[in-house]
Structure 1
């Protein structure tokens, strides 16, 4: 036992140094991530060409409408057009062909049709169109083993496809070669949306990608739920071939953010292309519809500004390098006509406080989106050892607040467990250790602040304000230890591209609160385990009044509201959204509301009062929300590091200012009470 204590007691003091050494060794890895995030600064605005055709199809002069809008889009900063794989339906919509079923063809030619025939009849718009499209159509249906025969009517050539029109109009073929050439001639960069709706054939895909390469295509967007080449069998082989073909033709991928489900095979294809991937933000038709509603000018201007804010935020805060714009026309009963959001889009991009000037102002340029140049360091392998020991030390340090006698046992068991976990799964090890350190750091930080009050160290300070500011700074610095480990352990490019998610972050929002609360209630006093157990029994056997039930209900409601505001699904009121927009536009980076408006000010007030009142430590405890929020900010791994650093800096500065205001208000109220109210009460 004496031998154990000889090792256990010094270890508790050494843990701190292990944590510091691990942090210092982690900094080069964090810097490598920063270099990666700043290696690509071109932003590409893409419009859905099919949507433009859909809107044009409702106009009196469809082709004229397209020719009018394309220059407007280019002037607004939309430099790219997204072109899909073609269908007969799309050729019809773009006026390349006319299409009829057997009954309509018979009526057109004034002949008696075969009642047992249900074919598709196609007429080309002119001979030039026929020259471009006929080989494409014939090949598509020949591959489907469907007979295609020539047909003509009134000097217009066409085809008869022996398949029903509903079925034939959906069959996928190569993108419209006429549209591709027209868009290239007008100076647009072409982005192709490619699906997995056709059987994967290496030679045909190679020829198609070669055609794209010759047109200057730099990137494809997967259309549908599966990447080209994904099959139930031989998936890995096909995806390897697809990746080789993409690499051969200098074409990369775009990853659409916030999809309900990942596209099947995308992560594998991204890996095989050496992560030649950019993140894409989609402004959907539903989003565009909000700009076509019957609104007052002021309301429309607010929504246009909201769109601009959203696009700037996506680029600046979420590593978005491609913005994909969708739109469609809607019937406006109030206006008595068809309306579309295109004019509002142009205003949002280039108007007053438009998205593009603001994006350029913060250092980005317009151009084809480029993948990050992934930076690495030779220090990585060595740093892994220090990360393991330092991260484990931080976790054990947290546990030692509760069971200091078992520090050595925790360290040995943890070391064996982490080594075994790394052997089993390097990814699971990295995520598990990152999450554990992220939880431990704010917990330790707040528990140390609580200990300084319980031990009487706070009472020795002459200035409550100085103690409060020092404690806020020190506590935040300790919390940021967890950030360095989190960033270093999860510095792979897949996290920046959100091809891999940091799992279990929800635990970060609750566990530090529970850990710090448990310490405050049962372990912060310098008493024996027997006394601690007696304290637990006393609390559990206490009678519960209606007041306690009400307080518990309010507490549960507060926890529910807190959780509802956490993560991407969190909801915010209109007023709060306006406030957020004001902060974003004023400061450039918006600090987190719960930090600078709630947690940091209350923490500072609690620390200030703790110099005189020991029970003020409960106000200090509320600050754990702000501390875990600091760490959680960096759990958004798609947000650039410098943005997160600015965000927490603003949060601390504004939180300290508001906290000082609270202290001033407290002093005014207490002094007024002593001067005016207490004498009256004593009488």
Structure 2
């Protein structure tokens, strides 16, 4: 039997790296615990429209939503279309005015005099003011967006009129700045204000300042959540925008992408977040097409989960447009808001201005130790695939660690850290299973498996093995969670790359290890590590039969399900029964474990122990070991979601181990009983013959 030596010095370096990882993870946990305030937001226009639908005074409706839990109102920029409907201004195309004059229906001498003076053009737009403040704001913003040469004041006084050279159908829908009247109303009602301005074409410093001048009178301005495809000031004036943010100590609201990976596309968003010293909060909003399919109870559960697991600190709630049975539309929405509030409070959150992370970056020397430990783990694994001298192991560790650490010590190294995270997610699950394989080999060589093991021995050995393997994999998760720990990853401005690969790499690595130790087609151990190449050749030369093709097809389908369900772009649907199981576990446990761990991987681990102790065919053992590796890889990959608190990721992995072990014990007992029944029936048949 070939000997694979575990280099104790490399293991010592791995332990040092783990201690550094634990230090960073604890610092990270402290930062995460300090960020626990959620801002409950609805759109000002949503509640105003609901008041009109229900025939309730706006002030009363706003107070009801405030009492239910809404802390802030989102205020968008106004448009000529909105102002027309509110009666605060009147916007008309010049063609309409001329038509009325030509048909004799234009009786107002004011307009007739303007026409007589040749000041009304069919292709232009005319804005008449009923409210002086609103009119002045509209004129100012039209001038910024069209240019001063295209906006002319035709009449002043009590009935001001301006002319804009623009297409009426388009200009009435343009954003024309934040309405100070709306901002004042929200401020007076006692809500926090979340402003939603847009950027300007060829933005100037005066444009940027104009937005903040309108916000200057707002006492309770908590955040700015930009609308449109760009943040204010993009591309050249982001430093000016950031300075205005810092002056008011404003939070930048960053809307999570519907696929839950980074944010809705807004040019300049992450640059502005960095310039604002990372005073940013992640925003979630349930898409309209999804919300109509959700009952309010399901939506409430989704909010609690989003705030817990995805670091959402601004909940932008949409209004339900249809009442629930036995309720009015107002009652439906108030109960919905109140339900979200109570769910968050029950989870330990407080309501108010959105919490933000301290700009946390771990000490570089701690990151360097983590990188060194991860490198040592990688070299250790290589030595367990194809043994080579200890001296060369140290040299390789030093060279690789130096190449990875130098960019970090220079103040960059994001790519290096992401590479180390990917290596940790791949190597540690493989090390966990490799250690177990070598332990079984030693027991087999010592003759421990010559006689069938009892059920109690199998379960005891399986529980011990699954605990040790899980903790080795958990170390990899703590490495990953530490090496990518900083505020950029918490906010998902940067993120772990290689999610799909982390689901596949441990399986490939464990397969390589298995083929260096066992003959896949015979119950014998290999004499040296070069057996890997001989087995690869054997597999490539294996006769292709219909049965083989069927097995390969089934394996490919399973791989499609396994990989397709990972990441953020999954095309494989989730079964309804699985969704119900998830919801149940979310309510029962602090952190819902992953199905691939407690339903598949960990039960397969205990069955693999049974297969080894009962000396089932090598191919069966291999398949069960590979399925068991799924859980180990999934456990580490959980930590790749840096927006999720590190404590929750840790508890999720341990919950999965406990629940999976219980299901695995049941599976082992069932298989044991089935085998016993089959054996007894076989003996009875022989006796009768």
- Which TM-score applies when normalising by structure 2? 0.86
- 1:171 positional shift: 4.0
Q: Distance in 2 between matches of 1:667 and 1:255?
A: 54
Uncovered stretches (5+) of structure 2, i.e. residues with no partner: 519-524
State the distance in 2 between where 1:9 and 1:521 align. 14
Are 2:255 and 2:264, in contact at CA under 8 Å, matched by a contact in 1? Answer: no
- Structure 1: distance between partners of 2:386 and 2:284: 48
The number of residues matched between the two structures is 641
CA deviation profile, 1:557-583 (whole Å, cap 9, x unmatched): 000011111123333122221221111
The separation in 2 between residues aligned to 1:322 and 1:347, in whole angstroms, is 19
1:505 maps onto 2:499 in alignment: yes
Distance 2:17 2:243 in 1: 40
Bigger mean CA offset, 634-643 vs 584-593: 584-593
* Contact map agreement 2:17 2:374 (CA 8 A) in 1: yes
Q: Does 1:349 align with 2:337?
A: yes
**Any unmatched runs of 5+ in structure 1?**
1-7, 292-302
Equivalent position SS for 1:455 = helix
Distance of 2:298 and 2:391 partners within structure 1: 55
**Which of residues 384, 397, 411 is equivalent to 2:367?**
384
SS of equivalent residue, structure 1 residue 45:
strand
Distance 2:121 2:367 in 1: 73
Residues 1:413 and 1:340: Cα distance change in structure 2 (over 3 Å): farther
1:16 aligned residue (11, 14, 19): 11
Q: Is the 8 A contact 1:453 1:459 kept in 2?
A: no
The answer to whether the aligner puts 1:315 opposite 2:303 as a matched pair is no
Q: Which string of whole-angstrom CA distances, capped at 9 and with x for unpartnered residues, describes residues 90-122 of structure 1?
A: 322444223222233353734776795223233
Q: Which moves more between the two structures, 190-199 or 405-414?
A: 405-414
Distance, in Å, in 1 between the alignment partners of 2:439 and 2:266 is 51
Query: Residue by residue, what CA displacement relative to the aligned partner does 1:238-266 show, whole Å, maximum 9, x if unpaired?
Result: 22222111101221201111267542211
User: Which residue does 1:456 correspond to in 2?
Assistant: 443
| More displaced stretch, 80-89 vs 160-169 | 160-169
Q: TM-score by structure 1 length?
A: 0.87
Equivalent residue, structure 2, for 1:183: 186
Aligned-partner SS, 2:388: helix
- Secondary structure at the aligned position of 1:404 is classed as coil
Q: CA deviation at 1:456?
A: 2.4
Equivalent of residue 402 in structure 1, options 378, 382, 385: 385
SS, match of residue 456 in structure 1: helix
Contact 2:283 2:313 in 1 (8 A): yes
Q: What residue number does 1:226 align with?
A: 230
- Asked if 2 retains the 8 angstrom alpha-carbon contact of 1:32 and 1:376, the reply is no
2:208 paired residue among 205, 209, 212: 205
CA deviation after TM superposition for structure 1 residue 385, in Å: 3.4
Secondary structure of 1:584's aligned partner: helix
Whether 1:367 aligns to 2:384 is no
- SS in structure 2 of the partner of residue 121 of structure 1: strand
CA contact (8 A) 2:198 2:226 kept: yes
Alignment of structure 1 residues 459-470 onto 2, 5 Å: 460=448, 463-470=457-464
Give the secondary structure class of the aligned counterpart of 1:248.
helix
- 1:40/1:564 CA distance change after superposition, 3 Å: same
Q: How does 1:599-614 map to 2 (within 5 A)?
A: 599-613=601-615
- Secondary structure at the counterpart of residue 489 of structure 2: helix
| Contact 1:11-1:407 at 8 Å conserved across structures | no
Instruction: Determine the C-alpha separation between the residues in 1 that align with 2:286 and 2:4.
Output: 59
What is the CA-CA distance between 1:634 and the residue it aligns to?
A: 0.7
Query: What are the Cα deviations for residues 224-246 of structure 1, in whole angstroms up to 9, with x where unaligned?
Result: 22111112xxx3xx222221111
Counterpart of 2:199 in structure 1 is: 196
Q: 1:84 aligns with which of 73, 76, 100?
A: 76
Query: Quick one: structure 1 residues 214 and 28, their matched pair in 2 at CA, closer, same or farther if it must change by over 3 Å?
Result: farther
What pairs with 1:37-76 in structure 2 (closer than 5 Å)? 37-52=32-47, 59=53, 66-67=58-59, 69-76=61-68
| Deviation digits for residues 373-392 of structure 1 (CA, Å, limit 9, x no counterpart) | 24556xx2332332232111
Q: For residues 462-499 of structure 1, give each alpha carbon's deviation from its aligned partner in whole angstroms, at most 9, with x where no partner exists.
A: 72211110100000111112112111110111111011
- Aligned-residue offset at 1:68: 5.1
Cα offset, 1:150, TM superposition: 4.6
For residues 242-257 of structure 1, the aligned pairs below 5 Å read 242-257=241-256
Structure 2 residue aligned with 1:535: 535
Distance 1:345 1:550 in 2: 53
Cα drift, residue 180 of structure 1: 0.9
| Residue in structure 2 matched with residue 563 of structure 1 by the alignment | 563
- SS state at 2:395 partner: helix
**Bigger mean CA deviation after superposition, 92-101 or 478-487:** 92-101
- How far off its partner does 1:347 sit? 2.5
- Contact 1:36–1:374, Cα closer than 8 Å, also in 2: no
1:519 pairs with 2:513: yes
Find the residue that maps to 1:323 and give its secondary structure: strand
1:595 to 594, 597, 605: 597
CA pair 104-436 structure 1, distance change in 2 beyond 3 A = same
* 1:51 Cα deviation from its structure 2 partner: 4.3
* Residue 521 (structure 2) aligns with: none
Partner residue of 2:30 out of 28, 35, 50: 35
User: Given the superposition, is the C-alpha separation of residues 275 and 344 from structure 1 closer, same or farther in structure 2, using an over 3 Å criterion?
Assistant: same
2:482 is the alignment partner of 1:495: no
Distance in 2 between the 1:116 and 1:150 partners? 12
For residue 481 of structure 1, what is the aligned residue in structure 2? 475
